[in-house]
């Protein structure tokens, strides 16, 4: 049984009533926000990897070794001409915190920052970001592994439901608060409007952004 199965089953890992080992909803959300825990669930929700698999070699298309700055480190990676940033991040660099939902600029699950501006990585060619700075959800981690203040606020407001859209919501909130540390609720709503949530947790996410703006 995976950790997610255990949580969804609503019992402890041992199947006992040992409250010391049982996960609270808050603990589950904390782990989801730290990213990756819902990857397998997301595949069922949004239809799996079909949208990010290599779409067949383009005639004459060959991989080229490029350097890209991801989360403050220069990463060297072989990239196809038509390869999207989402694919490079997830399947070549192992940064699976960036989710893939629609793979066509509609849902926002793949949101990352490029030079501090939100972008849909499913619709950004990796070759286009070679001279720019990419930040994914993993790049928000503090030096000792601590959550970013926005992530903490999301935990405190119990914002995520299934959690699949959460990394994208966090990245949009981080970008907003960088350029506008004290947004109104309407400004926050607008900033997150490119991030769809099938669980309908929009108010919770907004509460979390406003909390982060107040406490940050």
Beta bridge partners of 64: 79
- Report which DSSP code applies to 49: G
* In the complex, least distance from residue 153 CB atom to ligand FES, rounded to whole angstroms: 15
Q: Which two tokens stand for residue 194?
A: 């490119």
* In the complex, least distance from residue 144 CB atom to ligand FES, rounded to whole angstroms: 27
* Beta-sheet strand order (sheet of 117-120): 73-79, 64-70, 133-135, 111-114, 117-120
* In the complex, least distance from residue 37 CB atom to ligand FES, rounded to whole angstroms: 13
Report the SS3 class of residue 6: helix
Integer Cα distance of 141 and 127 in angstroms: 26
Integer Cα distance of 139 and 113 in angstroms: 10
Integer Cα distance of 89 and 38 in angstroms: 17
Whose Cβ is closer to ligand FES: residue 12's or residue 123's? 123
Whose Cβ is closer to ligand FES: residue 43's or residue 102's? 102
* In the complex, least distance from residue 20 CB atom to ligand FES, rounded to whole angstroms: 28
Count CB neighbours of 26 within 10 A.
Answer: 11
First vs last C-alpha separation in the chain: 38
H or E segment at 117? Answer: strand 117-120
Whose Cβ is closer to ligand FES: residue 117's or residue 182's? 117
* In the complex, least distance from residue 18 CB atom to ligand FES, rounded to whole angstroms: 28
* In the complex, least distance from residue 165 CB atom to ligand FES, rounded to whole angstroms: 3
Integer Cα distance of 84 and 206 in angstroms: 29
Whose Cβ is closer to ligand FES: residue 79's or residue 85's? 85
Whose Cβ is closer to ligand FES: residue 71's or residue 169's? 169
Task: Catalog residues that contact ligand FES under the rule CB under 6 A.
Answer: 100-103, 105-110, 120, 122, 160-165, 197-199, 201
Whose Cβ is closer to ligand FES: residue 13's or residue 194's? 194
């Amino acid at each position: 049984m995976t950790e997610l199965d255990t949580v969804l089953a609503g019992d402890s890992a041992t199947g006992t009533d040992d409250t010391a080992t049982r996960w609270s909803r808050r603990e589950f959300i904390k782990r989801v926000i730290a990213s990756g825990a819902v990857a397998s669930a997301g595949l069922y929700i949004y239809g799996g990897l079909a949208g990010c698999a290599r779409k067949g070699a383009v005639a004459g298309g060959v991989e080229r070794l490029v350097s890209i700055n991801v989360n403050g480190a220069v990463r060297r990676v072989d990239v196809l001409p038509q390869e999207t940033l989402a694919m490079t991040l997830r399947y070549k660099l192992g940064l699976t915190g960036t989710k893939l939902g629609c793979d066509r600029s509609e849902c926002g699950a793949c949101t990352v920052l490029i030079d501090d501006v939100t972008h849909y990585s499913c619709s950004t060619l990796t070759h286009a970001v070679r001279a720019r700075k990419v930040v994914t959800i993993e790049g928000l981690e503090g030096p000792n592994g601590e959550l970013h203040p926005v992530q903490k606020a999301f935990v405190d407001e119990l914002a995520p439901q299934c959690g699949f859209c959460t990394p994208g919501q966090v990245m949009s909130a981080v970008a907003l608060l960088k350029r506008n540390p004290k947004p109104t609720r309407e400004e926050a709503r607008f900033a997150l409007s490119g991030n769809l949530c099938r669980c309908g947790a929009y108010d919770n996410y907004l509460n979390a952004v406003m909390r982060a703006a107040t406490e940050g």
